[in-house]
Amino acid sequence: MYIGAQVLASICAAFALKGVYHPFMSGGVTVPSGGYGQSFALEFIIAFNLMFVVTAVATDTRAVSLFFFSLSVSLHVVFLFMFHDHDV
């Protein structure tokens, strides 16, 4: 039931975003400048890195949590802006 509620909420949020931003921002999405395979691979690698850092910080008491988490999120944002067309 929880998963169904999450899926339904994400669909409702997507339609609300499209309704608000449709004439201005192509539905509020980013358009990849490369191919679909390259975009998927980049997103997969960066998401894996982010999840790895989150898991490492959550389970390792010796980790400098704020530094590594901030570094991972910053790299995620930088790489996404480098490889995605954000002129729309």
pLDDT in tens, 44-74: 887 888 788 778 777 777 766 667 777 777 8
Task: For residues 25 and 53, state if they share a domain.
Answer: no
Clarify whether residues 82 and 44 are in a common domain. Answer: yes
Q: Are residues 60 and 88 in the same domain?
A: yes
The secondary structure element, H or E, covering residue 31 is: strand 31-32
Tell which phi-psi region holds residue 33, choosing left (phi > 0), alpha (psi between -120 and 50) or beta: alpha
- Region 12-29: mean pLDDT is 73
Residues 6+ apart with CB under 8 A from 88: 25, 26, 30, 31
Q: Do both 20 and 47 map to the same domain?
A: no
Give just the sign of the alpha carbon dihedral 24, 75, 6, 85.
positive
pTM of the model: 0.50
